[in-house]
Chains A and B, each alone.
Chain A
Amino acid sequence: MFSVLNLYFFSMTTLNSKIPEGNLSEKWTKYRSTVKLVNPANKRKLEVIVVGSGLAGGSAAASLAELGYKVKCFCFQDSPRRAHSIAAQGGINAAKNYKNDGDSVYRLFYDTVKGGDYRAREANVHRLAEVSTQIIDQCVAQGVPFAREYGGLLDNRSFGGTQVERTFYARGQTGQQLLLGAYSALSRQIAHGQVTMYNRHEMLELVIIDGKARGIIARDLVTGELERHFGHAVVLASGGYGNVFFLSTNAMGSNVTANWKAHKKGAFFGNPCFTQIHPTCIPVSGDYQSKLTLMSESLRNDGRVWVPKKQGDLRRPEEIPDEERDYYLERRYPSFGNLVPRDVASRAAKMVCDEGKGVGPSALAVNLDFRDSIKRLGENVIAARYGNLFEMYEKITGENPYKTPMRIYPAVHYTMGGLWVDYELMTTVQGLYAIGECNFSDHGANRLGASALMQGLADGYFVLPYTIGSYLSGDIATKPISTDHASFKEAEDAARERITKFMNNKGTKSVDHFHKELGKIMWNYCGMARNEQGLTKAKKMIADLREEFWKEVKVPGTDKELNPELEKAGRVADFIELGELMVEDALHRRESCGGHFREESQTEEGEAKRDDANFSYVAGWEFTGVGQKANLHKEALVFEEVHPTQRSYK
């Protein structure tokens, strides 16, 4: 018995990425050909829970149902079509080489590993590049109206961090069209009775029985009732956690709760401090601001970024002559100019604003100027390329970007970190999977543009449906476990206890008050630039905020009805705990890489300086208790194909 326990303990604490043997380019093919299968008669008996209905969750739920599994899918919105994947603008990468410009699976793999600043797992990224081409085929077959050339073939455009044109797009609404494709496949399976859809439901607890994920506790957001749901396996596809910063480009409801509950029950959190800050967003205009709006990266193809050379120059931008402007990206990065990757562009904007050269009422913005492109190409060409973005900008700011430069500033956009998963996308909890932005896997320390859609759909359509069979094939004899089981009751009690705590709390401050406070701490100390002193301070501040939150938070209404404040309270409580872990992770990673910039680790020119000797690993954090120091587990990154070098965009 003792040795069995020991073995169990060992397997729980070692990060085994389960990367298949063999050459990099053959691993996935070999895996697919040898992975254990579940026969159709058995699939009918197996139930899978999918939490989230975005690109990853929607495509996984539909594909698993097509295979014959019984699927339950949950989303907190009023329809699965509204998941935040819908807001992605620019496009989706695929190594089709339709342009005949020398693209290949290898190049897409290489660009992604390099773009991620050598902090991603090679085998996963290669698989991603391999299945990228199938995604486009699948989406076209579903009726996704991608942009086409006059001859009727698919059009491509270029995106940051690459030298080929491999981005497929549907105007500025690629995410919407891909999501509606997945939603249509999901709808078909709902109609067939293969998927039961739970709209306006939120997962509040994970249920673990004998060390395996066996279900969830979900709250019906309309009635407030807690429900128990069994699954032979549980798939989390609940997105990223950018809203820990309060202000981000994420939807208002995007949250970490499902992930965090899983983390507290044993799923390790991978690289939580890796956050992508997108350089081109509309700046903050006031205290009431609820979210930040992204302006597509594609604008940097024709817009020039600049600030006045003089500090505190209050003239209108049109009145500032060229010789008094600092086109700082073109000056610092002559070969990539305005098209440097996102992390580099964001840091450069922060640097000039810190020097007091920022523009606009807040002085926390830089100009993105189309004057020269309009002069060169004409207003109609610019309108054809970016018309909808210019309109959106004008709607929000009331200013016309054809006449005056846009004002932009970096904003939190995407989180590369997430639940740690192995090659099969399983977390450290048996039978619990994490897919899409919710896992940590493919983007390393910085994600390239148009790669989020690719990863979400790769995981959901083409990876998980295979890899989950490896686990479920060993579970065919397991009969559905009754939700009267003690573990279900225990989980439900825990969820209820927290709700009761909120409802009975006699606090005086709203949930948003605490969320905004947390956001400020995260942005100031764990945002675009981080240092030991600031992070140490933030750690204490967040712990204090957590204490105050539980004393002072006020939730109106009752728990037996639609109560958005109660929903937010639960999410913010989890964001606060996550914030502490992010700071811990940022503190321990004493190197700069990708979106994680430690001021102590920079080159003479102020660029991010990696420390491969000490930090070439994935940090997997194990939860040990609220306010307790999490345990660090390391997965060493082995580079067989790509040799890490200092990224240079000079």
Chain B
Amino acid sequence: MSETINLTLKIWRQKNSASAGQFVSYEMPGVSTHMSFLEMMDVLNEKLISKGEEPVAFDHDCREGICGMCSMFISGRAHGKLKGTTTCQLHMRHFADGEIITVEPWRAAPFPVIKDLVVDRTPLDKIIQAGGYVSVNTGSAQDANCLPVPKKDADEAMDAAACIGCGACVAACKNASAMLFLSAKVSQLALLPQGQPERKERILNMLSAHDEAGFGNCTNTGACEAECPKEISISHIARLNREFLGANV
């Protein structure tokens, strides 16, 4: 593979939530294929600064695929085309010389654009605040091994708990639904004995927070699962539905 490639970036630029945005094209010659996507954005920003232009604002922090801060919609795919990968772990060796890449923010009504590629994802926090926890105060816990948990359940709970809360599922969904995100937390706690006492209220409260925030409903298209960088299974939405039924009977 060639060590450098030439690219054209079409990036969404938007001053703030009140103003309209548009795509702006930037030529990026000589991009090293060892760079990560965000490092390429750093290089672009350094160029823009030296030319006296405003750099592109984007969210990012850990750059190792775990904090969930990065959030780019790259050529029509949340976090780009590589399966199970966040934007920060996407490397330029997966792009072709001469490729035109479009870069957009998450597009969903509950996630208003703050600037350029940065959106407001606080509605996801609101869903957790509505019940995504076990009500246990510090200091009141019994010995950790008093309550054995079958390994299978613990492993499945961990599969769900791997969610990084990036919001790719919402961005990928034609309904802008956050059901995969919501189901991951409901499923984790439903699988564990610690989650049982509040099981019913939890799902009802979290669902109403989800709907209040303006997220759409799930129509089982599966785009969320396909785009999730942590490959959270849509089967958690199936469990969510079962839990919802259970809470209503």
Contacts and interface: CB of A to CB of B under 8 A. Distances in A.
Interface of A: 59, 62-63, 66, 77-82, 84, 86-87, 96, 98, 134, 136-143, 145-154, 170-171, 173, 175-177, 180, 183-185, 187-188, 190-191, 197, 199, 222, 251-253, 285-286, 288-291, 293-294, 392, 395-396, 398, 461-462, 465, 510, 512, 554, 556-557, 561-562, 564-565
Contacts of B38: 290
Given A140-B141, A146-B154, A187-B125, A152 B149 contact: yes
13 contacts: A138-B138, A140-B144, A143-B134, A152-B149, A171-B162, A173-B66, A251-B67, A252-B63, A286-B34, A290-B38, A510-B49, A562-B114, A562-B115
Interface string B9-22: 00000011000000
B228 to A, nearest CB: 15
B158 A554 contact: no
Nearest to B52: A556
Interface in B67-82: 67-69, 82
Contacts of B170: none
A191 B130 contact: yes
A199 B122 contact: yes
A299 to B, nearest CB: 15
A154 B150 contact: no
Contact of B192 (A77, A79, A98, A143): A143
Contact of B194 (A62, A142, A152): A142
A403 to B, nearest CB: 17
Given A145-B157, A462-B139, A512-B42, A79 B121 contact: yes
Contacts of A78: 59, 69, 120-122
A510 B45 CA distance: 10
Given A184-B134, A398-B91, A556 B53 contact: yes
Nearest to A465: B138
B101 interface: no
Contact of B60 (A152, A252, A557): A252
Contacts of B150: 148, 152
Nearest to A94: B144
A142 B128 contact: no
A396 B89 contact: yes
Please list the 9 inter-chain residue pairs (A to B) with the smallest Cβ-Cβ separation, ordered nearest first.
A152-B148, A184-B133, A141-B141, A137-B141, A145-B158, A140-B144, A191-B129, A145-B157, A63-B138
B63 to A, nearest CB: 5
B248 interface: no
Which of A78, A81, A154, A285: most chain B CB closer than 10 A? A78
Contact of A138 (B39, B66, B139, B165): B139
Given A136-B144, A184-B128, 13 more contacts: A63-B137, A78-B69, A138-B136, A140-B141, A143-B192, A145-B157, A146-B154, A150-B151, A170-B158, A199-B122, A293-B63, A395-B89, A556-B54
Contacts of A138: 136, 138-139, 141
Given A187-B133, A561-B16, A79 B141 contact: no
B62 A564 contact: no
Nearest to B16: A561
A80 B69 CA distance: 11
A66 B148 contact: no
Interface of B: 15-16, 32, 34-36, 38-40, 42-43, 46, 48-50, 52-55, 57, 59-69, 82, 85, 89, 91, 93, 114-115, 118, 120-122, 124-125, 128-130, 132-145, 147-151, 154-155, 157-158, 161-162, 164-165, 188-189, 192, 194-195
A79 B165 contact: yes
A564 B140 CA distance: 42
A143 B195 contact: yes
Nearest to B67: A82
A154 B122 contact: no
Contacts of B63: 251-252, 290-291, 293
Given A86-B67, A154-B144, A190-B129, A288 B138 contact: no
Given A77-B61, A289-B39, A564-B57, A462 B132 contact: no
A516 to B, nearest CB: 10
Contacts of B114: 222, 562
A252 B88 CA distance: 11
Contact of A149 (B32, B35, B151): B151
B139 A288 contact: no
A148 B144 CA distance: 11
B139 A134 contact: yes
B66 A87 contact: yes
Contacts of B36: 290, 396
Contacts of A557: 54
A187 B129 contact: yes
A561 B115 contact: yes
Contacts of B68: 81-82
A177 B85 CA distance: 19
Contacts of A293: 63-64
A420 B194 CA distance: 38
Contacts of A170: 158, 161
B103 to A, nearest CB: 16
A192 to B, nearest CB: 9
A188 B130 CA distance: 8
A148 B55 contact: no
B62 A87 contact: yes
A120 B39 CA distance: 38
Contacts of B124: 79
A153 B49 CA distance: 55
Which of B59, B138, B151: most chain A CB closer than 10 A? B138
A137 B144 CA distance: 4
Contacts of A291: 63-64
B151 to A, nearest CB: 5
Nearest to B148: A152
A564 B124 CA distance: 23
A98 B194 contact: no
Given A140-B194, A145-B154, A251 B138 contact: no
Contact of B161 (A77, A180, A190, A462): A180
Nearest to B125: A79
B112 to A, nearest CB: 11
A639 B63 CA distance: 41
A150 B65 CA distance: 30
